[in-house]
Chain A
């Protein structure tokens, strides 16, 4: 029917998972299998490849409800440990974004600012079982008379709490350098002047969207590892680019696809959901995401066999070009080169520095692998594809 020599279905794979017979590899192991045995053999033997990434993902946050304490209230201003949350919803619903700083944060007034506490830290505190102070204000209505509310809560007190991330898992991204003559502090970490370091943020061959570059298996409804719990892909993320430039292996050579994710906060672990302070830039949240890729045919196997050598990252100047929106790319480096600790930018040799934890990314891929191997996690069928050509 399809022109492939291997044709498996998700339900066949799930049957094997439930019988404890599925062959599951992490994306690092898959590189070797495809390289040594070829894509057809790999597709015959391997049922699922697990990916993983653990990195600051700024476009993240929690959607939650604080519960009513009669007389009831329609909140118009809400703070958690002094960090503002958006409450322009019904009654006591609110959204807290990861990069929101506390109201009394000195920001970059003392440069570079530390951003020691913000939305991401509130989320981590909730997960660590810490007490969080809620302060709410309202204008008062006939049906919602309460004007103020002050209370301490634990995560378990919140009637609902979802991690709901508008944009995660960027498929490829920039490698950042600084061609200016002073040290700058960016969301890509500190960059020394005159291109003395090159920072990169990807788990490379383990990264979810680099293993399924055309979204053949990942779509709305894909069940995933999210922050230590089971979550879902709920569609393309914001800024999703369905038609990126690609290299001859299909891997985008620029920032490309993104995902919107959702998962139950109460089931997550602070090991995989960490508040972070990025000096000079702001607060954020490191999120652990692992996505399973069902190997339905040899083409999907080939894509999941992507290695660090196959991934080309665009090198961009964050000293002038990026802040001014200039599209110039200074060149490309493969992830294998970046991981070696040194790359070439033009004819300069530059130290390359990771800001994504490879060890944590691998731990996530392996955790997801163990869930599938013990039969507790099966593969879901996406209900809507995510556009990608």
Chain B
């Protein structure tokens, strides 16, 4: 956390690797070439040797953009995790149950309004809320075990 604050910029991205890229050390180059630190939150190599990864990247904002361009030039698809996770606002009843397991506080109870706030920018796409929500209000559009969860 303290290094994040120092370097200022932190973002969680979802990478998909086409088959020909998954054996090359592209992700490691983020640190070497752009002085970015990264934390692999989830990684998956699929049977056909394509793969996907959820990565938390932190560093200088400028370097973050350079790094992401580098990933794209290397053939990877890069998407913000925030665009992969949705809450059905009509369905959510603001019960609070998801906040028991959400590890990043992307889902958090507002103590004044008693509503559960959802901040997709904090989400690591772990899928816990999707598993727990009693009314199925959360959608995580990321492959897990080769299946959409």
* A residues apposed to B, CB below 8 Å: 54-56, 112, 114, 116, 189-192, 197, 199, 274-279, 284, 286, 339-341, 351, 353-360, 362
Segment 82-109 of B: residues with Cβ below 8 Å from A: 93-97, 99-101, 109
The contact sample of 21 A-B pairs, CB cut-off 8 A, is: A54-B93, A114-B131, A189-B97, A189-B100, A274-B93, A274-B135, A277-B134, A279-B132, A286-B95, A340-B111, A341-B111, A353-B96, A354-B109, A354-B114, A355-B95, A356-B96, A357-B93, A358-B94, A358-B114, A359-B94, A360-B94
Q: Of all chain B residues, which has the CB nearest A275?
A: B135
What's the dominant secondary structure at chain B's contact region?
loop
B137 to chain A, nearest CB (A): 11
A354 contact from B95, B131, B134, Cβ within 8 A:
B95
Residues of B within 8 A of A359 (CB): 94, 113-115
Residues of B within 8 A of A341 (CB): 109, 111
Q: A56-B134, A276-B135, A286-B134 are in contact. Are A357 and B100 (CB under 8 A)?
A: no
Is the Cβ of B100 less than 8 Å from the Cβ of A190? yes
B74 touches A (CB below 8 Å): no
Is the Cβ of A192 less than 8 Å from the Cβ of B101? yes
B29 touches A (CB below 8 Å): no
Kindly list 12 other residue pairs between chains A and B, CB separation below 8 angstroms, not including A279-B131, A359-B114, A360-B94. Answer: A190-B100, A192-B101, A199-B97, A277-B136, A278-B134, A340-B111, A353-B96, A356-B96, A357-B95, A358-B94, A358-B114, A360-B93
CA distance A25 to B109 in the complex (A): 26
CA distance A54 to B115 in the complex (A): 14
B140 to chain A, nearest CB (A): 14
Is the Cβ of B96 less than 8 Å from the Cβ of A354? yes
CA distance A114 to B101 in the complex (A): 16
Q: Considering residues A192, A357, A360, which has the most beta carbons from chain B within 10 angstroms of its beta carbon?
A: A357
Is the Cβ of A339 less than 8 Å from the Cβ of B111? yes
B97 contact from A339, A355, A362, Cβ within 8 A:
A355
CA distance A341 to B100 in the complex (A): 11
Residues of B within 8 A of A192 (CB): 100-101
A118 to chain B, nearest CB (A): 12
Residues of B within 8 A of A353 (CB): 96-97, 99-100, 109
A321 to chain B, nearest CB (A): 19
A180 to chain B, nearest CB (A): 16
Residues of A within 8 A of B96 (CB): 353-357
Q: Of all chain A residues, which has the CB nearest B134?
A: A276
Task: Indicate with 1 or 0, residue by residue over B119-143, a CB within 8 angstroms of chain A CB atoms.
Answer: 0000000000001101110000000
Q: Of all chain B residues, which has the CB nearest A120?
A: B134
CA distance A355 to B115 in the complex (A): 12
Residues of A within 8 A of B97 (CB): 189-190, 199, 353, 355
Is the Cβ of A357 less than 8 Å from the Cβ of B136? no
Residues of B within 8 A of A190 (CB): 97, 100-101, 132
B5 to chain A, nearest CB (A): 23
A85 to chain B, nearest CB (A): 22
CA distance A192 to B102 in the complex (A): 11
B143 to chain A, nearest CB (A): 18
Residues of B within 8 A of A358 (CB): 94, 114
CA distance A153 to B131 in the complex (A): 31
B138 to chain A, nearest CB (A): 12
Counting from the closest, the 10 A-B pairs by CB-CB distance are: A276-B134, A354-B96, A358-B114, A353-B100, A357-B95, A189-B97, A357-B93, A355-B97, A359-B94, A197-B100
CA distance A339 to B114 in the complex (A): 9
Q: Of all chain B residues, which has the CB nearest A112?
A: B131
B4 to chain A, nearest CB (A): 22
A245 to chain B, nearest CB (A): 27
Residues of A within 8 A of B115 (CB): 359
Residues of B within 8 A of A276 (CB): 134-135
A285 to chain B, nearest CB (A): 10
Residues of B within 8 A of A189 (CB): 97, 100, 132
Q: Of all chain B residues, which has the CB nearest A361?
A: B114
